[in-house]
Amino acid sequence: MSVLSAFLSDRVIAPTGVAGERTSCALSELKPGARARIIDVRDEVDQAVARRLFDLGFRPGVQVDVVRRAPMADPVIFRVAGCELALRRAQARCIRVSLEA
Amino acid sequence: MTSATGQTAGHARQSEARVALVGSPNSGKTTLFNALTGLRAKTGNYPGVTVSRYEGAAEVAGRRVVIEDLPGSYSLDPISPDERVLTDVLDPLNAGVQSPDALLVTLDATTMPRSLGLLAQVMQTDFPVCVVLTFTDELTRRQGALDVAALSRAVGVPVLAVTGGRRSDLVALRELLSRPQEWARPVVPPPHAPMEVAAWITSVLSSARYELPEGDARTRRVDAVLLHPVWGTLVFFVTMFAFFQVIFTAAAPLQDAIGSLFAWLGGLANSRISNGLLSSFVSEALLGGVGGVLVFLPQIVLLFLMINLLEGVGYMARAAFLMDRVMSKAGLEGRAFVALLSSVACAVPGIMATRTLPSARDRIATMMGAPLMTCSARLPVYVLLIGLVVPSGAGWGPISAQGATMFGLYLVGALSAMVAAWVFSRLGRSSGPLLPFSMEIPPYRIPSARSVALSTLDAARTFLRKVGKIILVTTIVLWLLLNLPARSTADLQAAGVNPANHTAVSAYVIDHSFGAAVGHAVEPVFQPLGFDWRINIGVLASLSAREVFVATLGQVAAAETPDTPTIALRTMRVEEGPRAGELLFTPPVVAALLLFFLYALQCMSTIAVMRRESGTWRWPAIAFGYMFVLAWVMGLAARLVVGAVT
Amino acid sequence: MAGDLAVVPVHPESLPDDPRTLRWVIPAGTLGFVGMPVEVPAPLRQLLDDATLAGLTVEPAAVRLTLAAGLEWREQGVRVRDALQAALAVPEQWQAPDLADATDAMAAMAAPGDDVLRAAVHQVLDGEVGDYIRSHGGQVILLSAHESEVEVQLSGACRHCPASDVTLTERLEGGVRALYPGLLRLTARDEPGPGAGRRMLRLIPTRGR
């Protein structure tokens, strides 16, 4: 492994510490059409997954829209940072969001 | 860098600049690569991994620059072997792969907040970096905005907008490519701590007056149908059906034409070359081998034309999205569906189609399952064998017993393929890291005809160059095995064979060939399945292509028409051993043969293409091994079960 | 460590004619003053004290940092950025330059922020927008910048250019607002001359975020 990727794999995606706001929930709980703002990635999530979600644009403070679900409700397409990404529910469950109007 | 003038060609080659393309998937990286290198690209493999390596030369300002298209990735923090290749290449300390002299980073202008994250990581390396902004036209169309000059100032490296490989944009890029050592370097590289990177991205985008584009209205309208639970699924199956039809039926006349052409050439060779053995070598081994390679081309070209079109448009990601839930049961992702389906026509294009899978683990798992799908080459074998034991008239009402047996074989093949893929995917999971699943759903875009054509051409060319050689060698070796030692007229007369009777001569030659020796030698292995040395010759010959089994058995049995040897085979009797005198092709033996052909990897072309796509002999060896064991066990079980029933 | 604090967006831009100085671009309005601060937060203070930094000037939306002679940004960059980032997290600890000794007569009646606004207008007129005007043979002079309102005078080729109403003022206002988000209005006045009246332009309101 290169020095750089070793460096990057040391990154810590820490929870933001924003306490459970009244509207905070998991990204996987939202219905298509909902809009939310990302709070953080849950503490118990594997760091490799957390770092990848961060690199994919799921960063704290970023707005995310639920676009649509696949026929059997999994995976789900989200719109984040200008692009549409499908995540399986297992991953979407790791992302804590606050609902927006 | 030193001037190339006055140096020898060898030195000039050494001083060639290497520029690597880095970018996330769907960032227009490969389109740019094709636009820069065109037909001069060549495909290889990175050492020891199932990751294709694309490299090509570009002519810039009278100099040759080698361009390398690195695997697409969202991050330099690797989670898959493909991404590890990228970080290895970007690691100057890694002696295993050659590092480039400079990097071109393609950034999709419509997804800048994410793309800049990758750029920030790439700028941590010491390479000179130049940014190529793609899809700026789409950004404007979707009401977004970006000031290219301001972006360049903010990131501290040259930034150039290149739209869909447009020539005028490329002129400026080529100009830059000719002198990478003069590119502006950032005085302070971007931060790497997550929240600081996020802040850096915000700051850079604000300076570049970036406006995030609106969602693509066109894409939203099309997706309302194509990703609809009912209509979308319907469209998916119609698309796949069309897909299958094209590789199965549309390719057939072309394949027949190639077959006829080589038959005609063979006839020509036969009539021109007087030496019998030589003429037979040229017409059967050489021309037969070349024809056996070329016959795959129509399928490969058609399949890749469709895959590249669907991929370029953006439908493949959607098909994967729709099929994800189903395929995840087999431990695979949606895209593997196309590869498995194509394998019903032929495993060769099917295995080549695995290159569209983003993860190496999925590619291997799919490759290991794909050859079990019932390919069209098994069809003549099945028809012959089923015809031997199942009466053509038998059946239940409108359902014919022959058709039902055939259907059962297809079904068992498909199920076995899924199970095999699931097993290999499981095995791969225990050794590799857990991949968080994510799939980008790009907006619908019109693919560049050039890119589609080049990728298709590349698939065909790699097949001919890398796979063709192996198929040709196999054909020649098998021909030699089955036709040597050569028999003179005196030999034949001494053995009581009439030299004028072609059928008798060819039967005598093959029955006393080196191949027959091999057939005798492996008899203990196949004896439990009820195969004798003559069936073994057929099994051996079928390694060049399964359908050869039919004609070879015909030749061995001295059938008048070797291509339809049913009658001759029905009367074949066991020569020696406890069953001596009994009919050879009894229902238990035929059942064993059917299952043997269902499971065994009796196809050197598949082995060769697996070697090419996986980059090592390891995977084809594993595949051949596990399938042989499976085929043997299943064959034995079938013989015992059918033997007990009848 | 930066997890619970919002990190101030910042990135450096180099100046073509001065390799020792970097403009660290920050969001407009972060500090609320321009010029050389009297005091800066401890992390930056330390770099000034240990002679890593030779100069520090605040612009409307940037901090100009000049390295001491003999030092390289390539080596000091990360350290300086960390210090700046820490300092920007506590904007209240930056002490604005004293305006009392300003000789400008306007200074007496200046409202807080006027100096930032003035600097913003000058920066826009010195930059791309100014270049554009000059390349078309026009001239713009700042008449006043007070309480978030700006008045400029157009002269030269601008006067009769039909584009001056919309394009020019739009670009001017957009540029100033990027550096001074509180801008209320920008008024363009023709050069006083026979028959030239005063034109007031209500310009596009700020785009909602």
Cα gap B284→C208, rounded to integer Å: 77
Higher pLDDT, C190 or B95: B95
Phi then psi for residue C63, to 5 deg, are -120, 125
Number of domains in chain A: 1
Overall average pLDDT of the B385-408 stretch: 79
- Whichever domain contains C10, its CATH number is 3.30.1370.70
Q: B107, B119 in Cβ contact below 8 A?
A: yes
- Of the residues B24, B111, B114, the best mutation for testing chain A's interface (the one with the most A CB atoms within 10 Å of its CB) is B114
Residue B84 has pLDDT above 70, yes or no: yes
Domain span at residue C49?
A: 2-97
Overall average pLDDT of the B223-231 stretch: 89
C80 part of a folded domain: yes
Q: C58, C110 in Cβ contact below 8 A?
A: no
Q: Can you read off the two tokens belonging to residue B372?
A: 């079990």
Instruction: Report CB contact under 8 Å: B196, C25.
Output: no
| Complete DSSP assignment for chain A | --HHHHHHHT-----------TTEEEGGGPPTT-EEEEEEE-TTS-HHHHHHHHHTT--TT-EEEEEEE-TTS-SEEEEETTEEEEE-HHHHTTEEEEEE-
pLDDT at B165: 65
Q: How far is CA B111 from CA A85, B99, B121, C86, in A?
A: 11, 28, 16, 29
Which residues contact residue B224 at a Cβ distance below 8 angstroms, ignoring those fewer than 6 apart?
none
Residue B13 has pLDDT above 50, yes or no: no
C18 plus C89 within the same structural domain? yes
C92 plus C114 within the same structural domain? no
> DSSP state, B211?
B
Instruction: Report CB contact under 8 Å: A71, B84.
Output: no
C25 contacts on B by Cβ (under 8 Å): 154, 203, 206-207
pLDDT at B2: 38
Within 10 A of A28 (CB to CB), how many other CB atoms are there? 18
pLDDT at A91: 84
C163, containing H or E segment: none
For chain C, the first-to-last Cα distance in angstroms comes to 29
Q: C123, C116 in Cβ contact below 8 A?
A: no
Instruction: Report CB contact under 8 Å: B436, A79.
Output: no
Select the residue of B155, B195, B206 nearest C7 (Cβ to Cβ): B195
Domain span at residue A45?
A: 3-99
Segment among B39-53, B566-580, C119-133 with least mean pLDDT: B39-53
C148 plus C188 within the same structural domain? yes
CA distance C196 to chain B (A): 36
pLDDT at C199: 44
Final residue of a structural domain among C72, C97, C122: C97
Q: Can you read off the two tokens belonging to residue A6?
A: 């070793």
Chains in contact with B via at least 3 Cβ–Cβ pairs below 8 Å: A, C
Selection from B199-203, B371-375, B495-499 with the highest mean pLDDT: B199-203
Selection from B70-84, B198-212, B531-545, C175-189 with the highest mean pLDDT: B198-212
Cα gap C30→C179, rounded to integer Å: 10
Overall average pLDDT of the B480-498 stretch: 76
> Of chain B residues 147-186, which have a CB less than 8 A from chain C?
153-156
- Of the residues C1, C4, C78, the best mutation for testing chain A's interface (the one with the most A CB atoms within 10 Å of its CB) is C4
Cα gap B180→B128, rounded to integer Å: 7
C49 part of a folded domain: yes
CA distance B52 to chain A (A): 19
CA distance C77 to chain B (A): 5
pLDDT at B12: 41
Final residue of a structural domain among C32, C62, C97: C97
- Whichever domain contains C119, its CATH number is 3.30.300.130
Within 10 A of A71 (CB to CB), how many other CB atoms are there? 18
Q: With cut-offs at 50, 70 and 90, classify the pLDDT of residue B599.
A: very high
Pairing of strands C11-15, C18-25: antiparallel
- Whichever domain contains A78, its CATH number is 2.30.30.90
C24 plus C76 within the same structural domain? yes
Nearest to B552, CA basis, from B565, B540, B538: B538
C142 plus C178 within the same structural domain? yes
C62 plus C83 within the same structural domain? yes
Q: Which residue of B has its CA nearest to A1?
A: B88
Number of domains in chain C: 2
Q: Residues of chain B with pLDDT > 90: what percent?
A: 17
Contact C182/B at CB under 8 A? no
CA distance C199 to chain B (A): 29
Bond before B485 cis per omega within 30 degrees: yes
Segment among A27-36, B120-129, B165-174, B600-609 with least mean pLDDT: B165-174
CA distance B34 to chain A (A): 24
Residue B3 has pLDDT above 50, yes or no: no
pLDDT at B47: 67
C206 part of a folded domain: no
Phi then psi for residue A88, to 5 deg, are -75, 160
Instruction: Report CB contact under 8 Å: B434, A81.
Output: no
Bond before C194 cis per omega within 30 degrees: no
pLDDT at B459: 77
Residue whose pair of structure tokens reads 């195969």 in the numeric block = B531
CA distance B84 to chain A (A): 8
pLDDT at B49: 64
Residue B439 has pLDDT above 70, yes or no: yes
Instruction: Report CB contact under 8 Å: C9, B154.
Output: no
C116 plus C88 within the same structural domain? no
Residue B184 has pLDDT above 80, yes or no: yes
∠ CA(C35), CA(C37), CA(C43), 5° rounding?
130
C93 plus C174 within the same structural domain? no
Q: Cite the DSSP H helix spans in B500-573.
A: 502-511, 514-521, 523-526, 533-541, 548-556, 566-570
Contact C98/A at CB under 8 A? no
- Extract the runs of DSSP E, i.e. beta strands, from B61-140: 63-69, 102-108, 129-134
C25, containing H or E segment: strand C18-25
Q: Can you read off the two tokens belonging to residue B401?
A: 């017993």
pLDDT at C194: 44
C126 plus C80 within the same structural domain? no
Higher pLDDT, C107 or B167: B167
Contact C11/B at CB under 8 A? yes
pLDDT at C109: 59
Cα gap A44→C123, rounded to integer Å: 49
List pLDDT tens digits, range B229-287: 889 889 988 887 787 777 667 777 888 888 888 888 888 887 887 776 787 777 777 78
List pLDDT tens digits, range A10-39: 787 777 666 555 578 889 889 999 999 998
Contact A74/B at CB under 8 A? yes
| Complete DSSP assignment for B387-441 | HHHS-TT-EETTEEHHHHHHHHHHHHHHHHHHHHHHHHHHHHHHHSPPPPPEEEE
Phi then psi for residue B551, to 5 deg, are -65, -35
Cα gap C101→C103, rounded to integer Å: 6
Q: What is the ipTM of this complex?
A: 0.91
C207 part of a folded domain: no
In tens digits, what is the pLDDT along chain C, a chain of 209 residues?
333 457 899 999 988 888 889 999 999 888 888 888 888 899 999 999 998 899 898 888 889 999 998 888 888 899 999 999 999 988 888 888 776 555 555 555 566 677 888 888 888 888 877 787 777 777 788 887 777 888 888 777 666 666 555 667 777 888 888 888 888 888 777 665 444 444 444 344 434 33
Select the residue of B154, B190, B196 nearest C85 (Cβ to Cβ): B196
pTM score: 0.79
